[in-house]
């Protein structure tokens, strides 16, 4: 009986040790998998513009009879792909640094009204020159501690998306107010909106709702991941909701 008790205790201990090690390995395995996915997706995203540029350059080399018009078209296309590569690598670097805590958030007391006027005035001006109406409504009369560089980057990401995913005649309204000791910034557009299934994934790295459409709009699928990181680093949160009757609202909530 004693020997059997020992054997059973040993088997139980083995299973227990296996279970505990599996559980404690889970976060490490998940992080490793995320890293693998990031590298795979990054390589895939970089490969496409590089093949386009390579193809265009090879054609220019092997087809010396190309007209000036054909050549300039190839240069324009290559240039737009180079710009895409540039923005992809910049976004990847930002995300890589965010993951390794290399980028510190440096908060400074900021006059939110003056700050937002400055960051968003190019968009308001651009709106008045185009068929998209951009308006700003800031009702914050106190200073708030924010990392200006990062919140600037966040507003640009949200504004660029609002413009990219809306059409002529649509409106984009940015508002800011203090609510329950929190700074609430909302970017609301009347654009194409986001489906319920896509809403679950839009903050994932490299996720794009419509891959083919987004190549035209020049998206990388990294913007909202960066936006989410910036907000989290401020201990805040970012939520997405439908605008009525159509469009999307991104709400950023930052504790004071």
Q: Looking only at residues 1 through 40 of this chain, which bind ligand ADP when binding is defined by CB under 6 A?
A: none
Does 189 engage in binding with ligand ADP (CB under 6 A)?
yes
Does 248 engage in binding with ligand ADP (CB under 6 A)?
yes
Does 223 engage in binding with ligand ADP (CB under 6 A)?
yes
Pairing of strands 182-189, 248-255: antiparallel
Judged by CB under 6 A, the residue of 134, 174, 224, 231 near ligand ADP is 224
Whichever of 49 and 221 has its CB closer to ligand ADP, that residue is 221
Whichever of 98 and 225 has its CB closer to ligand ADP, that residue is 225
Distance in angstroms (rounded) separating the CA atoms of residues 234 and 148:
11
Distance in angstroms (rounded) separating the CA atoms of residues 105 and 234:
7
Question: Reduced to 3 states, what is the DSSP secondary structure of residue 34?
Answer: helix
Q: Looking only at residues 129 through 188 of this chain, which bind ligand ADP when binding is defined by CB under 6 A?
A: 161-162, 165
How many angstroms separate the first and last alpha carbons of the chain? 66
Question: Is the distance from CB of 81 to CB of 47 less than 8 angstroms?
Answer: no
Nearest of 107, 93, 131, 126 to residue 226 by alpha carbon: 93
The sheet carrying 133-139 orders its strands as 133-139, 171-179, 182-189, 248-255, 237-242
Quote the least distance from Cβ 23 to ligand ADP, whole Å. Answer: 32
Does 209 engage in binding with ligand ADP (CB under 6 A)?
yes
Quote the least distance from Cβ 162 to ligand ADP, whole Å. Answer: 5
Whichever of 49 and 191 has its CB closer to ligand ADP, that residue is 191
Whichever of 74 and 88 has its CB closer to ligand ADP, that residue is 88
Q: How many binding residues for ligand ADP (CB under 6 A)?
A: 20
Whichever of 115 and 206 has its CB closer to ligand ADP, that residue is 206
Nearest of 248, 116, 255, 141 to residue 190 by alpha carbon: 248
Whichever of 103 and 161 has its CB closer to ligand ADP, that residue is 161
| Residues linked to residue 183 through DSSP beta bridges, in sequence order | 178, 254
Pairing of strands 171-179, 248-255: unpaired
Interface with ligand ADP by CB under 6 A: which residues?
Answer: 161-162, 165, 189, 191-192, 194, 202, 207-209, 214, 219-225, 248
């Amino acid at each position: 009986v004693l020997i059997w008790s020992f054997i059973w205790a040993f088997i139980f201990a083995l299973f227990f040790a296996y279970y505990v090690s599996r559980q404690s390995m889970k976060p490490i395995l998940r992080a490793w998998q995320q890293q693998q996915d990031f590298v795979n997706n990054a390589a895939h995203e970089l490969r496409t513009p590089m093949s386009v540029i390579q193809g265009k350059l090879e054609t220019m080399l092997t087809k010396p009879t190309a007209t000036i018009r054909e050549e300039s078209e190839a240069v324009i296309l290559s240039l737009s792909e180079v710009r895409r590569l540039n923005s992809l690598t910049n976004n990847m670097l930002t995300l890589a640094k965010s993951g390794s805590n290399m980028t510190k958030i440096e908060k400074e007391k900021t006059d939110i009204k003056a700050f937002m006027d400055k960051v968003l005035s190019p968009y308001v001006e651009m709106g008045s020159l185009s068929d998209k109406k951009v308006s700003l409504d800031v009702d914050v009369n106190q200073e708030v501690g924010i990392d200006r560089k990062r919140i600037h980057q966040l507003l640009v990401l949200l504004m660029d998306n609002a413009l990219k995913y809306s059409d002529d005649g649509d409106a984009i309204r940015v508002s800011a107010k203090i609510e329950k000791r929190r700074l609430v910034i909302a970017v609301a557009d009347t654009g194409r909106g986001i489906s319920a299934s896509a809403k679950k994934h839009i903050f994932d790295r490299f996720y794009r709702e419509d891959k083919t459409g987004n190549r035209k709009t020049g998206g990388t699928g990294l913007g909202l991941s960066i936006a989410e990181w910036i907000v989290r680093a401020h201990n805040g949160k970012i939520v997405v909701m439908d605008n009525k009757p159509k469009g999307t609202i991104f709400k950023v909530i930052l504790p004071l």
